[in-house]
Structure 1
Amino acid sequence: MSDHDPDTGSFIWYELMTPDAAAAKAFYDAVVGWDIDPANSIPGGGPVDYRMIKRADGGNAGGLLVLTDDMIAHGARAGWVGYLHVADVDRTVAAVEADGGTTLMPARDMDGVGRLAMLADPWGAPFYVMTPTPPSGNPDAKSDVFSVDRPQHVRWNDLASDDQDGAIAFYRKHFGWTQEGAMPMGEMGDYKFIQKDGVGIGAIMKKLPQHPRNAWTFYIGVDDIDRALAAVKAGGGTPASEPMPIPGGEFSVHATDPQGATFGLVGPRK
């Protein structure tokens, strides 16, 4: 792949890390309408328990990694993390480290999946970089886990950072994003929108003091924000607020699942 690969810088996968896969399945299936695999999706098992998150249209919305006691003992915690497509994982790792980022998981190859590494930006927000292996017989396959308008896909990628402008410059440099437009948020400052190839993929905001860490939050599309919020509450999740109106006539809500992973929802009110 060349440096000009149009996929470079795209979110191509999302992963939920959780210590309780059965509870996560019950929760997200009810909230979003997914059908998370009830058992390890890796043929023949493997060193980790990894399950596909299936959409109603037959595609995958991402994956679920079951955290083991050993992973938790080494600092892993429940949460969502995104994967960014790059043309060269090793070169990206070196460039990110040179700009103050850190490597959380060294680059490695996974048979049939691709080469990947887990990094953190200079302010500590984690993400994966990946050069995927195309499916057998479909060399031009494209990821569809992100969509600007479809339910059961991630529709918005939101970064809270201690250094808003520094983060914008960092992701622009390494992943080719642009930053155009902003929404004033009073004392919180401007909510600055980010784009990939002219498509709005999310925003970068200044981290609030009450937030424990710099991190990405991924907003998942739902068919009905009120139905989904009721399912969050019934399933033991904790919404941060009632649904808030967003440009375009839809609503969003930020929440935490029963295992402690934060996420967002976005959709219409019916």
Structure 2
Amino acid sequence: MDAQLPDLEAGKRFYGDLFGWTFEEAPGSSVWARLDGEPVAALARKADGRMPTVWTVYFATPDAEALGRRITAAGGQLVVPPFPVDRLGAAALAADPQGAVFGLWQPGSHPGFGRRRAPGTFAWAQLYTRDTAAANAFYGDLFHEALFGTGAAPDFGRADVCEVFPAEMPPHFLAHFRVADLDDALGAVQRLGGRIQAPPFETSYGRVAVVTDNQGASFAVLRR
């Protein structure tokens, strides 16, 4: 996953302090975020100020072109068609039929997360949608084996928008990072210039709070 930010240096300071990440240059106008030397995310400078300041979750696929065709056939759309990212792989942006945007990643030399589910790393992606039955059908068809067929611990769920957000909030994915202590994490977010968007609440996958960083990108912190 990556964050598109107007100020990359401010993002490095915020997330480096919050999660203990270190950073190194990556191809293009982006940096790798690492924890204990393992890749956990990327931060990228927004190429266009009209683009939203957001975290994007990417689903791995062996064939981004083929998956893109399936997405459009199922009523979604390709926002950005697949394009090469150096020798690291190929990326694309898509939207489901309700407008929630997500990424596709066809790995080359970069397979994706080097570490997850530990404090300071990705732990969960929640889709907030207005039609859970339609979302189940769309994503179940696209990613059935990945989501339901492996027997591995799930990393993905969905809920109605109005469970956490105002009814006018558009459907979207929300990236969750695991933290060791939720109160400490929320205190750090506020100290670093972010804000609490939704105070802690209980879910089936842990205790969660929704926050924004110091540039307006929303994400969640999760204590399991």
- TM (norm. structure 2) is 0.89
User: Where in structure 1 do 4 or more consecutive aligned residues deviate above 6 Å?
Assistant: none
Give the direction of change, closer, same or farther, for the CA distance of 1:217–1:195 in structure 2 (3 Å limit).
Answer: farther
Give the direction of change, closer, same or farther, for the CA distance of 1:216–1:267 in structure 2 (3 Å limit).
Answer: same
Distance 2:85 2:204 in 1: 40
Equivalent residue in structure 1 for 2:65, among 79, 90, 101: 90
Distance 1:152 1:111 in 2: 27
CA drift of 1:242 comes to 3.4
Distance 1:174 1:232 in 2: 35
CA drift of 1:220 comes to 0.3
Q: Which amino acid aligns with 2:150?
A: D
Equivalent residue in structure 2 for 1:49, among 29, 32, 36: 29
Distance 1:81 1:267 in 2: 21
Distance 1:260 1:115 in 2: 27
Equivalent residue in structure 2 for 1:197, among 150, 155, 158: 150
The residue that corresponds to 2:128 in the other structure is 160
Secondary structure at the aligned position of 1:242 is classed as strand
Distance 1:229 1:110 in 2: 34
- Give structure 2 stretches of 5+ with no counterpart: none
Aligned length: 220
The residue that corresponds to 1:72 in the other structure is 49
**Superimposed CA distance per residue, residues 44-90 of structure 1 (whole angstroms, 9 cap, x where no aligned partner):** xxxx41111111x210111111013xx123xx110000111112111
CA drift of 1:122 comes to 0.9
CA RMSD of aligned residues (A): 2.2
8 Å contact from structure 1 (residues 32, 221) kept in 2 = no
Distance 2:219 2:176 in 1: 6
8 Å contact from structure 2 (residues 132, 159) kept in 1 = yes
8 Å contact from structure 1 (residues 195, 202) kept in 2 = no
Matches within 5 A, 1:82-121: 82-121=57-96
Give the direction of change, closer, same or farther, for the CA distance of 1:146–1:101 in structure 2 (3 Å limit).
Answer: farther
Matches within 5 A, 1:87-236: 87-134=62-109, 143-147=113-117, 150-176=118-144, 195=148, 197-198=150-151, 199-208=153-162, 209-236=166-193
- TM (norm. structure 1) is 0.74
Larger Rg: 1
Q: Percent identity?
A: 25
